[in-house]
C-alpha cells in the first residue's frame, strides 16, 4: 500500500471504508453494451487505491448532520467519479503528461490515449447516473445541480484551465497578485469538489442551510490548506508518499505557495486555513464523533509533507 499520507488513517473507519469501496465497485459493474476494454480502464482508474477523501467527507458530513451515511453512498461515489475523471484527463499527454498516479501507471500509459479520454468522458455521466440511486428523484435533482456546478466551467474545469495557463506563462507582475490567482485556482480546482462533498452529505441528511454553509466553509478552508500541503509535498516529499511524480511543479516552472512565499510562510498559511476550517465546525455539538474526525483531519494536514 503506497499511502503513507498521515491524513489517511483519520478518515479510515472500517464501516465507512466498506460502504465506499462496495459502492464504487457496484457502480462499475457494466452490462454488455459497455466495451470490455472501456469497463476495464474505468475500473482500473476508479478502483485504484485512492485516499477517498471526498467520499469520506460526504459520509462524515451526512453523519454529523444526523443522517445515516449509507443513504449518502451514491453521492460519495459520484464525487469520487468526478475526482477520478479529472485526474485521468489532467494526466493526459496534452495536459500534464504524467506517467504515475495513485502509485500506478496513469490510464493513458496503461491503456492508450483515446481510452483515457473516453474513461473520463464516461465517468462524468456515471456520477450523475449514480446520483439516481438517492432516495428520491427530487433529492437526485438537487444533488445533481450541486455536483454539476462544482464540476463545471466556473469551478473544477475553470480552475484546471487557469492551472494549465499557470504552467505556460505568468501574467501577473506582483507576488500578491500571483498568490491571489493561485488561491483562485485552488478554490476551483481542488476546493469546489471538496466543498460540494461536504454540502451533499449535509443536504442528504436534510440539514439546515446554516449547517450546509458551515460544512461548506470547513471544506473551503480544508481545501486551501490541503493544496498548500500538497505543494509542500511536491517540494519536500518523495514519490512514495505522494503516489505520483514529485518535484514536478518546479520542473514546469509552476507557481506554488512554496515558490511564491517560501516554505515557512506557506506552512503558516496552511495552519491559518486549518484553524479556519476547525472554527467553521463550532456550530456542531461536540458529542458527534464525526466532528472530532473532521477536526483531526484538518489538524493532520500540518505535517503531511514532513
The residues, any chain, with a CB within 8 Å of residue 10's CB and separated by 6 or more, are 293, 296, 297, 300
What x-and-dash track marks residues 164-183 binding a second copy by CB under 8 A? xx------------------
Between 189 and 304, CB nearer to a second copy: 189
Q: Applying CB under 8 A, does 38 fall inside the site for a second copy?
A: yes
Number of residues that make up the chain: 306
Number of residues near a second copy (by CB under 8 A): 59
Cβ contact 223:187 at 8 Å: yes
Q: Out of 33, 264, 285, 287, point to the residue binding a second copy (CB under 8 A).
A: 33
Q: Out of 117, 179, 235, 263, point to the residue binding a second copy (CB under 8 A).
A: 117
- Nearest approach in angstroms of CB 120 to a second copy is 7
Q: Out of 18, 68, 99, 154, point to the residue binding a second copy (CB under 8 A).
A: 154
Cβ contact 219:295 at 8 Å: no
Q: What DSSP designation does 72 have?
A: G
Q: Applying CB under 8 A, does 121 fall inside the site for a second copy?
A: yes
- For residue 100, list its beta bridge partners: 105
H-run or E-run covering 104: strand 104-105
Cβ contact 69:16 at 8 Å: yes
Q: Out of 115, 197, 229, 300, point to the residue binding a second copy (CB under 8 A).
A: 115
- Nearest approach in angstroms of CB 79 to a second copy is 12
**Closest to 216 (Cα-Cα) out of 58, 74, 77:** 58
Phi and psi (nearest 5°) for 49?
Answer: -70, 85
- Nearest approach in angstroms of CB 111 to a second copy is 11
- For residue 105, list its beta bridge partners: 100
Binding piece for a second copy, criterion CB under 8 A, among 9-17, 63-71, 153-161, 229-237: 153-161
Q: Applying CB under 8 A, does 144 fall inside the site for a second copy?
A: yes
Cβ contact 107:45 at 8 Å: yes
**Binding residues for a second copy, per CB under 8 A?**
30-31, 33-35, 37-39, 42, 85-86, 89, 92-95, 113-115, 117-118, 120-122, 124-129, 131-132, 134, 136-142, 144-145, 147-149, 151-155, 157-158, 160-162, 164-165, 184, 188
Amino acid at each position: 500500500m503506497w499511502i503513507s499520507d498521515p491524513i489517511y488513517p483519520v478518515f479510515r473507519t472500517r464501516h465507512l471504508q466498506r460502504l465506499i469501496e462496495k459502492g464504487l465497485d457496484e457502480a462499475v459493474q457494466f452490462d454488455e453494451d459497455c466495451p470490455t476494454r472501456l469497463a476495464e480502464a474505468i475500473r482500473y482508474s476508479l478502483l485504484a487505491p485512492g485516499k477517498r477523501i471526498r467520499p469520506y467527507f460526504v459520509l462524515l458530513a451526512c453523519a454529523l448532520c444526523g443522517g445515516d451515511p449509507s443513504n449518502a453512498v451514491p453521492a460519495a461515489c459520484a464525487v469520487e467519479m468526478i475526482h477520478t475523471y479529472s485526474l485521468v484527463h489532467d494526466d493526459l499527454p496534452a495536459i500534464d503528461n504524467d506517467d504515475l498516479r495513485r502509485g500506478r501507471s496513469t490510464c493513458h500509459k496503461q491503456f492508450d490515449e483515446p481510452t483515457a479520454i473516453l474513461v473520463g468522458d464516461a465517468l462524468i455521466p456515471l456520477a450523475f447516473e449514480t446520483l439516481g440511486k438517492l432516495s428520491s428523484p427530487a433529492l437526485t435533482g438537487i444533488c445533481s445541480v450541486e455536483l454539476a456546478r462544482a464540476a463545471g466551467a466556473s469551478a473544477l474545469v475553470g480552475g484546471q484551465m487557469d492551472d494549465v495557463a499557470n504552467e505556460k506563462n505568468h501574467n501577473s507582475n506582483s507576488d500578491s497578485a500571483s498568490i491571489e490567482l493561485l488561491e483562485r485556482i485552488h478554490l476551483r480546482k481542488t476546493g469546489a469538489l471538496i466543498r460540494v462533498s461536504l454540502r451533499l452529505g449535509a443536504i442528504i441528511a436534510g440539514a439546515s442551510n446554516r449547517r450546509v454553509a458551515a460544512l461548506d466553509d470547513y471544506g473551503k478552508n480544508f481545501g486551501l490548506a490541503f493544496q498548500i500541503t500538497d505543494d509542500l509535498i511536491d517540494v519536500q516529499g518523495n514519490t512514495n508518499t505522494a503516489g505520483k511524480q514529485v518535484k514536478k511543479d518546479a520542473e514546469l516552472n509552476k507557481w506554488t505557495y512554496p515558490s511564491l512565499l517560501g516554505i515557512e510562510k506557506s506552512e503558516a498559511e496552511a495552519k491559518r486555513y486549518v484553524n479556519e476550517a476547525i472554527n467553521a465546525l463550532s456550530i456542531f455539538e461536540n458529542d458527534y464523533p464525526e466532528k472530532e474526525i473532521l477536526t483531526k483531519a484538518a489538524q493532520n494536514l500540518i505535517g503531511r509533507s514532513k
